[in-house]
Amino acid sequence: MEVVMRYAPSTQCVHAGREDFADLGVHAPPVDLSTTYPVHDLDAGTASFDALVGGAAHAGNPIYARLHNPTVARVEQAIARLEQAEACVAFSSGMAGLSALLLAVRQHGGHMLAVRPMYGTADHLLSSGLLGIECEFVTVDQIASRIRPDTALVLVETPANPTLALIDIEAVVAAAGSVPVAVDSTFATPILQQPLALGARYVLHSATKFLGGHGDVIAGVIACAEADAKALRQIRAATGALLHPWAAYLLHRGLPTLALRVERAEANAETLVQRLLQHPAVAAVHYPGLNDPRDAALCKRQMRGRGCLIALELLGGQAGAAAVMRAVQLITPAVSLGSVDTLIQHPAGLTHRVLDAETRERTGITPGMLRLSVGIEAVDDLWADLAQALNAAIATELPLKAAA
Protein backbone atom coordinates (compact mmCIF):
# COMPACT_ATOMS: atom_id res chain seq x y z
CA MET A 1 0.00 0.00 0.00
CA GLU A 2 1.32 3.42 -0.95
CA VAL A 3 1.95 5.72 2.01
CA VAL A 4 0.61 9.25 1.45
CA MET A 5 2.56 11.84 3.39
CA ARG A 6 0.76 14.89 4.80
CA TYR A 7 3.14 17.78 4.29
CA ALA A 8 2.99 21.32 5.65
CA PRO A 9 1.46 23.96 3.35
CA SER A 10 4.85 25.54 2.64
CA THR A 11 6.19 22.16 1.52
CA GLN A 12 3.11 21.52 -0.61
CA CYS A 13 3.66 24.87 -2.34
CA VAL A 14 7.04 23.67 -3.51
CA HIS A 15 6.22 20.08 -4.48
CA ALA A 16 2.52 19.89 -5.41
CA GLY A 17 1.91 19.15 -9.07
CA ARG A 18 5.42 17.75 -9.48
CA GLU A 19 4.75 14.18 -8.39
CA ASP A 20 5.59 12.67 -11.78
CA PHE A 21 8.85 14.54 -12.34
CA ALA A 22 10.99 11.52 -11.45
CA ASP A 23 9.21 9.40 -14.04
CA LEU A 24 9.54 12.17 -16.63
CA GLY A 25 13.18 12.76 -15.79
CA VAL A 26 12.74 16.53 -15.41
CA HIS A 27 13.25 19.09 -12.66
CA ALA A 28 11.16 22.00 -14.00
CA PRO A 29 7.53 21.79 -15.17
CA PRO A 30 7.30 20.99 -18.90
CA VAL A 31 5.18 23.26 -21.09
CA ASP A 32 2.92 21.72 -23.72
CA LEU A 33 1.88 24.40 -26.22
CA SER A 34 0.09 22.08 -28.64
CA THR A 35 -3.32 23.15 -29.84
CA THR A 36 -4.15 19.75 -31.30
CA TYR A 37 -2.98 16.17 -30.85
CA PRO A 38 -2.64 13.37 -33.46
CA VAL A 39 -5.43 10.78 -33.52
CA HIS A 40 -4.10 7.58 -35.13
CA ASP A 41 -6.67 5.31 -33.50
CA LEU A 42 -10.10 6.72 -34.30
CA ASP A 43 -11.98 4.53 -31.83
CA ALA A 44 -9.66 5.51 -28.99
CA GLY A 45 -9.82 9.14 -30.10
CA THR A 46 -13.61 9.11 -30.13
CA ALA A 47 -13.67 7.64 -26.63
CA SER A 48 -11.28 10.35 -25.43
CA PHE A 49 -13.35 13.07 -27.06
CA ASP A 50 -16.55 11.84 -25.41
CA ALA A 51 -14.86 11.64 -22.01
CA LEU A 52 -13.40 15.15 -22.13
CA VAL A 53 -16.53 16.81 -23.50
CA GLY A 54 -18.38 15.06 -20.69
CA GLY A 55 -16.16 16.72 -18.09
CA ALA A 56 -13.55 14.07 -17.37
CA ALA A 57 -10.29 15.28 -15.86
CA HIS A 58 -8.19 13.39 -18.39
CA ALA A 59 -8.38 10.88 -21.23
CA GLY A 60 -6.06 8.74 -23.30
CA ASN A 61 -5.72 11.49 -25.92
CA PRO A 62 -6.11 15.23 -25.17
CA ILE A 63 -7.61 15.68 -28.68
CA TYR A 64 -7.66 19.49 -28.63
CA ALA A 65 -6.30 22.07 -26.19
CA ARG A 66 -9.73 23.51 -25.44
CA LEU A 67 -10.65 20.12 -23.99
CA HIS A 68 -7.46 19.35 -22.08
CA ASN A 69 -3.88 20.51 -21.68
CA PRO A 70 -1.25 18.67 -19.59
CA THR A 71 0.40 21.86 -18.34
CA VAL A 72 -2.93 23.24 -17.13
CA ALA A 73 -3.80 19.92 -15.53
CA ARG A 74 -0.51 19.99 -13.64
CA VAL A 75 -1.18 23.33 -11.92
CA GLU A 76 -4.77 22.27 -11.24
CA GLN A 77 -3.41 19.24 -9.40
CA ALA A 78 -1.08 21.48 -7.38
CA ILE A 79 -3.80 23.91 -6.30
CA ALA A 80 -6.21 21.09 -5.47
CA ARG A 81 -3.53 19.72 -3.15
CA LEU A 82 -3.09 23.12 -1.48
CA GLU A 83 -6.84 23.43 -0.89
CA GLN A 84 -7.20 19.78 0.22
CA ALA A 85 -9.69 19.33 -2.61
CA GLU A 86 -10.38 16.39 -4.88
CA ALA A 87 -10.12 18.59 -7.96
CA CYS A 88 -9.39 22.04 -9.29
CA VAL A 89 -10.51 23.61 -12.57
CA ALA A 90 -8.50 26.50 -14.03
CA PHE A 91 -9.91 29.29 -16.18
CA SER A 92 -8.65 32.21 -18.24
CA SER A 93 -9.52 34.64 -15.40
CA GLY A 94 -11.21 34.75 -12.04
CA MET A 95 -14.34 36.18 -13.65
CA ALA A 96 -14.37 33.35 -16.20
CA GLY A 97 -14.31 30.92 -13.29
CA LEU A 98 -17.17 32.69 -11.51
CA SER A 99 -19.18 32.77 -14.73
CA ALA A 100 -18.66 29.02 -15.20
CA LEU A 101 -19.78 28.38 -11.63
CA LEU A 102 -22.97 30.38 -12.12
CA LEU A 103 -23.73 28.50 -15.33
CA ALA A 104 -23.04 25.18 -13.60
CA VAL A 105 -25.41 25.80 -10.69
CA ARG A 106 -28.04 27.40 -12.92
CA GLN A 107 -29.27 23.94 -13.90
CA HIS A 108 -30.26 23.38 -10.25
CA GLY A 109 -32.17 26.64 -9.81
CA GLY A 110 -32.42 30.22 -10.97
CA HIS A 111 -31.86 31.94 -7.62
CA MET A 112 -28.77 32.60 -5.51
CA LEU A 113 -27.78 34.56 -2.43
CA ALA A 114 -24.66 36.68 -2.06
CA VAL A 115 -23.16 38.74 0.75
CA ARG A 116 -21.63 42.15 0.12
CA PRO A 117 -19.08 43.59 -0.13
CA MET A 118 -17.21 41.63 -2.76
CA TYR A 119 -15.08 42.33 -5.83
CA GLY A 120 -16.79 45.05 -7.83
CA THR A 121 -16.94 43.22 -11.16
CA ALA A 122 -18.31 40.09 -9.47
CA ASP A 123 -20.99 42.25 -7.82
CA HIS A 124 -21.79 43.82 -11.19
CA LEU A 125 -22.09 40.43 -12.91
CA LEU A 126 -24.43 39.13 -10.21
CA SER A 127 -26.54 42.30 -10.26
CA SER A 128 -26.86 42.34 -14.04
CA GLY A 129 -28.57 38.99 -14.41
CA LEU A 130 -26.55 38.46 -17.59
CA LEU A 131 -26.15 34.73 -16.97
CA GLY A 132 -29.81 34.11 -16.24
CA ILE A 133 -29.62 33.71 -12.48
CA GLU A 134 -31.38 35.99 -10.01
CA CYS A 135 -29.04 37.19 -7.27
CA GLU A 136 -30.40 38.45 -3.97
CA PHE A 137 -27.91 40.32 -1.78
CA VAL A 138 -28.34 39.54 1.91
CA THR A 139 -26.56 39.69 5.24
CA VAL A 140 -25.30 36.51 6.87
CA ASP A 141 -28.18 36.67 9.37
CA GLN A 142 -30.69 36.70 6.51
CA ILE A 143 -29.38 33.66 4.63
CA ALA A 144 -31.52 30.98 6.29
CA SER A 145 -34.77 32.94 5.85
CA ARG A 146 -34.09 33.81 2.19
CA ILE A 147 -33.40 30.28 0.98
CA ARG A 148 -35.96 29.27 -1.67
CA PRO A 149 -36.65 25.93 -3.37
CA ASP A 150 -34.83 27.24 -6.44
CA THR A 151 -31.82 28.66 -4.54
CA ALA A 152 -28.78 27.08 -6.17
CA LEU A 153 -25.83 28.83 -4.49
CA VAL A 154 -24.70 31.04 -1.65
CA LEU A 155 -21.62 33.14 -2.47
CA VAL A 156 -19.43 35.00 -0.01
CA GLU A 157 -16.00 36.60 -0.10
CA THR A 158 -13.87 36.62 3.02
CA PRO A 159 -11.85 38.66 3.77
CA ALA A 160 -14.04 40.95 1.69
CA ASN A 161 -12.87 43.25 -1.09
CA PRO A 162 -12.11 46.05 -0.28
CA THR A 163 -13.19 46.51 3.36
CA LEU A 164 -11.47 43.35 4.71
CA ALA A 165 -14.69 42.41 6.54
CA LEU A 166 -14.75 38.80 7.72
CA ILE A 167 -17.56 36.31 7.23
CA ASP A 168 -17.97 33.21 9.38
CA ILE A 169 -17.82 30.42 6.78
CA GLU A 170 -19.12 27.73 9.10
CA ALA A 171 -22.08 29.93 10.06
CA VAL A 172 -22.89 30.52 6.39
CA VAL A 173 -22.69 26.79 5.64
CA ALA A 174 -25.04 26.04 8.54
CA ALA A 175 -27.51 28.70 7.43
CA ALA A 176 -27.41 27.53 3.82
CA GLY A 177 -28.35 23.97 4.72
CA SER A 178 -28.37 21.82 1.59
CA VAL A 179 -27.59 24.77 -0.68
CA PRO A 180 -23.92 24.74 -1.77
CA VAL A 181 -21.68 27.55 -0.50
CA ALA A 182 -18.93 29.10 -2.60
CA VAL A 183 -16.20 31.16 -0.95
CA ASP A 184 -13.97 33.60 -2.79
CA SER A 185 -10.77 33.17 -0.80
CA THR A 186 -8.51 35.27 -3.01
CA PHE A 187 -7.40 37.61 -0.22
CA ALA A 188 -6.56 34.77 2.17
CA THR A 189 -4.89 32.25 -0.19
CA PRO A 190 -4.71 28.55 0.78
CA ILE A 191 -1.88 29.49 3.15
CA LEU A 192 -4.18 31.40 5.51
CA GLN A 193 -7.62 29.87 4.94
CA GLN A 194 -9.17 26.65 3.59
CA PRO A 195 -12.92 27.06 3.10
CA LEU A 196 -13.53 23.47 2.01
CA ALA A 197 -12.36 22.24 5.41
CA LEU A 198 -14.98 24.57 6.95
CA GLY A 199 -17.84 23.09 4.92
CA ALA A 200 -17.86 25.16 1.75
CA ARG A 201 -18.45 23.28 -1.49
CA TYR A 202 -16.43 25.54 -3.78
CA VAL A 203 -13.43 27.78 -3.18
CA LEU A 204 -12.62 30.43 -5.79
CA HIS A 205 -9.40 32.32 -6.40
CA SER A 206 -8.44 35.02 -8.79
CA ALA A 207 -5.13 33.28 -9.38
CA THR A 208 -3.93 36.49 -11.00
CA LYS A 209 -3.29 37.67 -7.47
CA PHE A 210 -1.32 35.81 -4.79
CA LEU A 211 -1.17 32.41 -6.47
CA GLY A 212 0.62 33.85 -9.50
CA GLY A 213 2.20 36.50 -7.33
CA HIS A 214 4.25 38.42 -9.88
CA GLY A 215 1.77 40.51 -11.86
CA ASP A 216 2.39 38.62 -15.09
CA VAL A 217 -0.47 36.14 -15.43
CA ILE A 218 -4.28 36.34 -15.46
CA ALA A 219 -6.02 33.19 -14.26
CA GLY A 220 -8.86 31.88 -12.14
CA VAL A 221 -9.29 28.59 -10.30
CA ILE A 222 -12.09 26.76 -8.51
CA ALA A 223 -11.29 23.91 -6.11
CA CYS A 224 -14.07 21.47 -5.30
CA ALA A 225 -15.12 17.83 -5.34
CA GLU A 226 -14.54 15.87 -8.55
CA ALA A 227 -18.29 15.51 -9.13
CA ASP A 228 -18.66 19.31 -9.17
CA ALA A 229 -15.50 19.80 -11.22
CA LYS A 230 -17.00 17.70 -14.00
CA ALA A 231 -19.73 20.28 -14.70
CA LEU A 232 -17.20 23.11 -14.59
CA ARG A 233 -14.99 21.36 -17.14
CA GLN A 234 -17.96 20.81 -19.43
CA ILE A 235 -18.71 24.54 -19.36
CA ARG A 236 -15.08 25.47 -19.86
CA ALA A 237 -14.85 23.20 -22.89
CA ALA A 238 -18.08 24.57 -24.37
CA THR A 239 -17.37 28.27 -23.72
CA GLY A 240 -13.63 28.24 -24.38
CA ALA A 241 -12.68 29.93 -21.11
CA LEU A 242 -9.51 27.86 -20.92
CA LEU A 243 -6.25 28.88 -19.29
CA HIS A 244 -3.40 29.14 -21.77
CA PRO A 245 -0.60 26.66 -21.01
CA TRP A 246 2.03 29.39 -20.75
CA ALA A 247 -0.12 31.16 -18.17
CA ALA A 248 -0.50 27.82 -16.37
CA TYR A 249 3.29 27.43 -16.36
CA LEU A 250 3.76 30.90 -14.88
CA LEU A 251 1.09 30.20 -12.29
CA HIS A 252 2.76 26.95 -11.29
CA ARG A 253 6.14 28.68 -11.24
CA GLY A 254 4.80 31.17 -8.68
CA LEU A 255 3.46 28.59 -6.23
CA PRO A 256 6.75 27.47 -4.59
CA THR A 257 7.23 30.93 -3.04
CA LEU A 258 3.57 31.46 -2.10
CA ALA A 259 3.98 30.71 1.60
CA LEU A 260 7.14 32.81 1.85
CA ARG A 261 5.54 35.73 0.02
CA VAL A 262 2.40 35.67 2.14
CA GLU A 263 4.33 35.42 5.39
CA ARG A 264 6.68 38.30 4.52
CA ALA A 265 3.92 40.53 3.17
CA GLU A 266 1.73 39.83 6.18
CA ALA A 267 4.55 40.79 8.55
CA ASN A 268 4.95 44.03 6.60
CA ALA A 269 1.21 44.68 6.74
CA GLU A 270 1.09 44.18 10.51
CA THR A 271 3.78 46.84 10.94
CA LEU A 272 2.14 49.28 8.52
CA VAL A 273 -1.24 48.93 10.23
CA GLN A 274 0.19 50.04 13.57
CA ARG A 275 1.91 53.04 11.98
CA LEU A 276 -1.13 54.02 9.94
CA LEU A 277 -3.27 54.06 13.08
CA GLN A 278 -1.06 56.85 14.42
CA HIS A 279 -0.93 59.04 11.30
CA PRO A 280 -3.00 62.25 11.45
CA ALA A 281 -4.22 61.92 7.85
CA VAL A 282 -5.84 58.54 8.50
CA ALA A 283 -9.42 58.46 9.77
CA ALA A 284 -9.73 54.65 9.98
CA VAL A 285 -7.80 51.49 9.25
CA HIS A 286 -9.50 48.22 8.25
CA TYR A 287 -7.61 44.96 8.68
CA PRO A 288 -8.96 41.50 9.55
CA GLY A 289 -9.72 41.22 13.24
CA LEU A 290 -8.48 44.72 14.04
CA ASN A 291 -11.54 46.70 15.12
CA ASP A 292 -13.92 44.18 16.68
CA PRO A 293 -13.18 41.51 19.33
CA ARG A 294 -15.66 39.16 17.62
CA ASP A 295 -13.83 39.56 14.32
CA ALA A 296 -10.54 38.98 16.11
CA ALA A 297 -11.87 35.71 17.52
CA LEU A 298 -13.24 34.67 14.11
CA CYS A 299 -9.96 35.53 12.42
CA LYS A 300 -8.07 33.39 14.91
CA ARG A 301 -10.47 30.46 14.46
CA GLN A 302 -10.92 30.62 10.69
CA MET A 303 -7.57 31.84 9.41
CA ARG A 304 -3.91 31.17 10.06
CA GLY A 305 -3.06 34.87 9.79
CA ARG A 306 -4.56 38.23 8.92
CA GLY A 307 -3.14 38.66 5.45
CA CYS A 308 -1.52 41.35 3.37
CA LEU A 309 -4.40 43.71 2.47
CA ILE A 310 -5.17 46.95 4.31
CA ALA A 311 -7.95 49.44 3.72
CA LEU A 312 -7.41 52.97 5.04
CA GLU A 313 -9.79 55.89 5.06
CA LEU A 314 -8.39 59.40 4.77
CA LEU A 315 -9.69 62.51 6.47
CA GLY A 316 -9.32 64.29 3.15
CA GLY A 317 -11.90 62.11 1.40
CA GLN A 318 -11.47 61.43 -2.30
CA ALA A 319 -9.25 64.48 -2.79
CA GLY A 320 -6.91 63.21 -0.09
CA ALA A 321 -6.91 59.74 -1.59
CA ALA A 322 -6.06 61.14 -5.01
CA ALA A 323 -3.24 63.16 -3.48
CA VAL A 324 -1.73 60.03 -1.93
CA MET A 325 -1.89 58.16 -5.24
CA ARG A 326 -0.13 61.06 -6.96
CA ALA A 327 2.56 61.24 -4.30
CA VAL A 328 3.67 57.63 -3.86
CA GLN A 329 7.02 56.84 -5.44
CA LEU A 330 8.02 53.33 -4.40
CA ILE A 331 4.46 52.01 -4.07
CA THR A 332 2.67 51.53 -7.39
CA PRO A 333 -0.74 53.20 -7.82
CA ALA A 334 -2.54 50.41 -9.69
CA VAL A 335 -5.42 47.98 -9.37
CA SER A 336 -4.89 44.28 -8.61
CA LEU A 337 -3.19 42.83 -5.56
CA GLY A 338 -1.11 39.97 -4.27
CA SER A 339 2.05 40.80 -6.19
CA VAL A 340 5.57 40.89 -4.79
CA ASP A 341 5.45 44.69 -5.02
CA THR A 342 3.11 46.94 -3.06
CA LEU A 343 0.09 48.38 -4.86
CA ILE A 344 -2.38 51.06 -3.81
CA GLN A 345 -5.69 51.90 -5.44
CA HIS A 346 -8.98 53.75 -4.92
CA PRO A 347 -11.91 51.28 -4.80
CA ALA A 348 -14.70 53.83 -5.22
CA GLY A 349 -13.06 55.26 -8.32
CA LEU A 350 -11.64 52.07 -9.85
CA THR A 351 -12.38 48.46 -8.87
CA HIS A 352 -15.83 49.22 -7.42
CA ARG A 353 -16.85 52.13 -9.61
CA VAL A 354 -19.25 49.80 -11.48
CA LEU A 355 -21.42 49.83 -8.33
CA ASP A 356 -23.84 52.69 -7.78
CA ALA A 357 -22.95 55.25 -5.12
CA GLU A 358 -25.67 54.06 -2.75
CA THR A 359 -24.38 50.48 -2.80
CA ARG A 360 -20.82 51.65 -2.23
CA GLU A 361 -21.88 53.77 0.73
CA ARG A 362 -24.02 51.00 2.22
CA THR A 363 -21.16 48.51 2.04
CA GLY A 364 -18.57 50.86 3.53
CA ILE A 365 -16.68 51.79 0.37
CA THR A 366 -16.13 55.45 1.11
CA PRO A 367 -14.71 58.17 -1.19
CA GLY A 368 -11.66 58.47 1.05
CA MET A 369 -10.82 54.76 1.11
CA LEU A 370 -7.60 53.40 -0.34
CA ARG A 371 -6.80 49.68 -0.61
CA LEU A 372 -3.20 48.77 0.02
CA SER A 373 -1.85 45.41 -1.15
CA VAL A 374 1.37 45.03 0.78
CA GLY A 375 4.34 43.42 -0.92
CA ILE A 376 7.62 41.95 0.23
CA GLU A 377 9.81 45.08 0.14
CA ALA A 378 11.63 46.32 3.24
CA VAL A 379 8.90 47.60 5.53
CA ASP A 380 10.75 50.79 6.50
CA ASP A 381 11.06 51.73 2.83
CA LEU A 382 7.34 51.15 2.36
CA TRP A 383 6.49 53.26 5.38
CA ALA A 384 8.78 56.08 4.33
CA ASP A 385 7.01 56.28 0.97
CA LEU A 386 3.54 55.93 2.45
CA ALA A 387 4.21 58.50 5.16
CA GLN A 388 5.52 61.11 2.73
CA ALA A 389 2.48 60.54 0.50
CA LEU A 390 0.11 60.94 3.47
CA ASN A 391 1.97 64.08 4.51
CA ALA A 392 1.56 65.40 0.97
CA ALA A 393 -2.18 64.82 1.30
CA ILE A 394 -2.21 66.82 4.52
CA ALA A 395 -0.28 69.65 2.89
CA THR A 396 -2.35 69.87 -0.28
CA GLU A 397 -5.84 68.60 0.49
CA LEU A 398 -6.70 68.59 4.18
CA PRO A 399 -6.37 72.36 4.70
CA LEU A 400 -8.68 72.90 1.70
CA LYS A 401 -11.20 70.49 3.17
CA ALA A 402 -11.02 72.22 6.57
CA ALA A 403 -11.50 75.62 4.97
CA ALA A 404 -14.62 74.42 3.13
Q: Which residues are catalytic?
A: 66, 119, 184, 209
Backbone angles phi, psi at 82, to 5 degrees: -65, -35
Q: Alpha-carbon distance 101 to 92, whole Å?
A: 13
Which CA distances in Å does 277 have to 285, 292, 397?
A: 6, 15, 19
| Sign of the torsion angle spanned by Cα atoms 358, 361, 364, 368 | positive
Q: Give 312-349 as a DSSP string.
A: EEETTHHHHHHHHHHH-SSSEE-S---SSS-EEE-TTT
Compute how many other C-beta atoms are within 10 angstroms of the C-beta atom of residue 227. Answer: 10
Backbone angles phi, psi at 371, to 5 degrees: -105, 125
Q: Are 305 and 259 in contact (CB under 8 A)?
A: no
Q: Alpha-carbon distance 233 to 42, whole Å?
A: 23
Which CA distances in Å does 35 have to 38, 63, 232?
A: 10, 9, 21
